[in-house]
């Protein structure tokens, strides 16, 4: 492992530990069960940490200008939005932040990271939601998002196309499911490293028994020693999953589409206010509730990756 990589991992670890107040352990763990977490891959591998720090510095120095302009991304955030004050929080805002400027009568969260299941339940219980059975799965979204999705499904059907969920967890998720995603990386990695003799069985048991809060810190400490927890075990877990509490699915404004490879399906979804906003996650669509021509007015910018168009915060 080269020293540059070590310093990057160390930097990320420091950021995460600094921000770890955001991630308290849930009161209960959900069983892993049949929930399909594959759709929720978050890949930070394209994020150059030096660029991130530099852009944060630039963001800070431009803050006065942003305030005076009263436009752009920051001005379109919900009133009372809790701006992240740490590097990881700002990175998460850049990676997932498009959802916070959603329109069309929906309620985006007013913070980047939910602290625990209680906070998620509190947010979700205040929403006007709608349920429907789509592709054999019972799904729940914020009501305007569901209405727009069903309009898109109708338009697709008229052209002989399907728009269906990738799995039962393609729409709403709970906080505990995001903890489950984190565990779906940590637990197999522990088995792997015990098998390689890098950790003892006692170490693995101790780590598994930790709260999510403590486990995040411990996992990142081990990664400083080259014991990695990403799915392929060759890089930081931060490049593989989001920390618990950050998924757009918690907001009931995201939908993972089975037919995401079909350009016409993507066009129909776009026409109905559903856009791709997380560059590393191809099946994942976010309800933004406006026409494509209005997105730049919300402070989002167009980005092309893997031949797809993504709308991300222009920060």
Q: What residues line the site for Zn ion (CB under 5 A)? A: 39, 254, 256, 284
Q: What is the dihedral of CA 107, 299, 38, 19, to 10 degrees?
A: -80
Nearer to Zn ion, 144 or 165 (CB): 165
Nearer to Zn ion, 13 or 242 (CB): 242
| Nearest residue (beta carbon) to Zn ion | 284
Contacts for 259-262: CB closer than 8 Å, 24+ residues apart: 259/161, 259/162, 259/163, 259/164, 260/285, 262/161
Nearer to Zn ion, 8 or 284 (CB): 284
DSSP H helices in the chain: 3-19, 49-61, 63-69, 87-96, 117-125, 143-158, 175-195, 201-208, 212-223, 263-271
Minimum CB separation of residue 284 from Zn ion in Å reads 3
Minimum CB separation of residue 79 from Zn ion in Å reads 27
Nearer to Zn ion, 20 or 251 (CB): 251
Nearer to Zn ion, 16 or 278 (CB): 278
Minimum CB separation of residue 313 from Zn ion in Å reads 17
What secondary structure, in 3-state letters, does 95-128 show? HHHHHHHCCCCCCCCCECCCCCHHHHHHHHHCCC
CB 107 within 8 A of CB 126: yes
Nearer to Zn ion, 178 or 236 (CB): 178
Minimum CB separation of residue 80 from Zn ion in Å reads 26
- Please tell me what DSSP assigns to residue 313: E
Given phi > 0 = left and psi -120 to 50 = alpha, else beta, which region is 137? Answer: beta
Overall size of the chain counted in residues: 315
Minimum CB separation of residue 223 from Zn ion in Å reads 25
Minimum CB separation of residue 4 from Zn ion in Å reads 31
């Amino acid at each position: 492992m080269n020293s540059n990589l070590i310093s990057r991992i160390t930097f990320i670890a420091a950021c995460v530990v600094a921000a770890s107040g955001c991630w308290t352990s849930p009161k209960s763990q959900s069983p892993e069960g049949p929930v399909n977490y594959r759709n929720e891959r978050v890949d930070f591998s394209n994020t150059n940490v030096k660029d991130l720090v530099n852009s944060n510095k630039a963001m800070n120095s431009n803050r006065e200008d942003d305030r005076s302009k009263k436009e752009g991304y920051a001005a379109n955030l919900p009133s009372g939005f809790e701006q992240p004050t740490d590097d990881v929080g700002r990175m998460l805002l850049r990676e997932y932040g498009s959802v916070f400027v959603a329109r069309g009568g929906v309620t985006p969260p007013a913070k980047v990271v939910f602290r625990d299941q209680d906070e998620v339940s509190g947010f979700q219980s205040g929403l006007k939601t709608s349920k429907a059975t789509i592709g054999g799965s019972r799904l729940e979204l914020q009501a305007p998002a569901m209405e727009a999705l069903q309009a898109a499904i109708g338009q697709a059907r008229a052209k002989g196309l399907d728009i269906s969920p990738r799995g039962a967890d393609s729409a709403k998720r709970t906080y505990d499911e995001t903890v489950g995603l984190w565990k779906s990386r940590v637990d197999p990695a522990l088995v792997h490293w015990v098998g390689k003799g890098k950790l003892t069985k006692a170490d693995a048991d101790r780590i598994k028994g930790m709260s999510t809060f403590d486990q995040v810190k411990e996992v990142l400490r081990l990664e400083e020693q080259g014991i990695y927890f990403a799915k392929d075990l060759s890089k930081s877990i931060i490049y593989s999953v989001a920390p618990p509490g950050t998924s757009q699915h918690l907001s009931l404004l995201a939908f993972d589409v089975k037919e995401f490879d079909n350009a016409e399906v993507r066009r129909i979804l776009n026409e109905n206010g559903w856009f791709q906003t997380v560059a590393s996650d191809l099946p994942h669509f976010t309800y933004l509730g406006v026409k494509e021509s209005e997105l730049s007015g919300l402070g989002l910018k167009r980005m092309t990756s893997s031949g797809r168009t993504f709308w991300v915060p222009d920060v």
